[in-house]
Amino acid sequence: MLQVKGLSKIYPARRGSPAVTALDDVSFTIAANSAFGVVGESGSGKTTLTRCLIGLEKPSSGEMLFEGRDIARLSPAQLREMRARIQIVFQDPYASLNPRMSAQDIIGEPLLIHHDRLQLSAPARTDRVVELLERVGLGVRHLHRYPHEFSGGQRQRIGIARALAVKPDMLILDEPTSALDVSVQAQILNLLAELQDSLKLSYLFISHDLGVVRYICDRALLLLHGKVIEEGPVDQVFDHPRSDYARRLIAAIPDVDPAQSLHLAH
């Protein structure tokens, strides 16, 4: 579905600051209907990678082939078409929904933006929005509500419904649960797993929570300073990491297990 080959992004040197290599020869492949995790600490290049994939940044070198066509070389019209196929769900459901728009407007907006392709009449758009609300566990009663009337988990459901509106093949999920409580996170993760199954979606799942990545993803990639440190099936990456960095990072994740208490080590 998506093939990234030798992707690099270098932000050139500016007055007083040296050039920054945000991505350095990154390669990976996401198969259709699979979930691919990208893990890394702040500054590792996760965000630059997503910005390149949705055409917000031009990579310095390398290719990003989405069904055989390089995303960086698309014409503006082709890029728009491609963006209907790859949608994004943002991290912070408090910041990514316009407080002045109702749920109907928020979820319906992509249907208007891609109107030339979808050709949905106004009543058909409303029907589609209701269908999407139900798909993500909300309902027609939520249609005219505004973001402040929803809890964090419900807002993230709206963010997911908006991303699904134009029937994409792939979702980029940028830390979709890091702003949520664990109980709500579990609901959202299960919703994402169910949606992936029933809608045959591919996920590019960005997270610093390795437990979540392991739960949702089939394969994962670990980035450090823009370089790929580990790549493979999640079990291999997490149970048999090859690099010291990955081993240290995995050891640093606090598991909900009293056996790893610092008090036992002393």
Q: Interface residues with another protein (CB under 8 A)?
A: 41-42, 151-153, 181-187, 189-190, 193-194, 197, 208, 210-212, 214-216, 238, 248-249, 251-258, 260-263, 266
In whole angstroms, the minimum distance from the beta carbon of 174 to another protein comes to 16
Token pair for residue 123?
């009543």
End-to-end CA distance of the chain: 50
In whole angstroms, the minimum distance from the beta carbon of 19 to another protein comes to 20
In whole angstroms, the minimum distance from the beta carbon of 26 to another protein comes to 20
Q: Which residue, 124 or 253, is less far from another protein as judged by CB? A: 253
Q: Which residue, 116 or 257, is less far from another protein as judged by CB? A: 257
Residue type, 44: S
In angstroms, the CA 57 to CA 110 distance is 21
Locate tokens 């503006």: which residue?
A: 76
In whole angstroms, the minimum distance from the beta carbon of 116 to another protein comes to 37
Q: Are strands 35-40 and 61-66 parallel, antiparallel or unpaired?
A: unpaired
Q: Residues 79, 107, 205, CA angle at the centre, nearest 5°? A: 60
Alpha carbon of 264 to those of 56, 90, 235, 258, 261: distances in Å? 48, 39, 27, 9, 6
Q: Which residue, 74 or 189, is less far from another protein as judged by CB? A: 189
Query: Cα dihedral sign for 247, 251, 257, 263?
Result: positive
In angstroms, the CA 232 to CA 210 distance is 14
In whole angstroms, the minimum distance from the beta carbon of 209 to another protein comes to 8
Q: Which residue, 15 or 266, is less far from another protein as judged by CB? A: 266
Q: Which residue, 6 or 211, is less far from another protein as judged by CB? A: 211
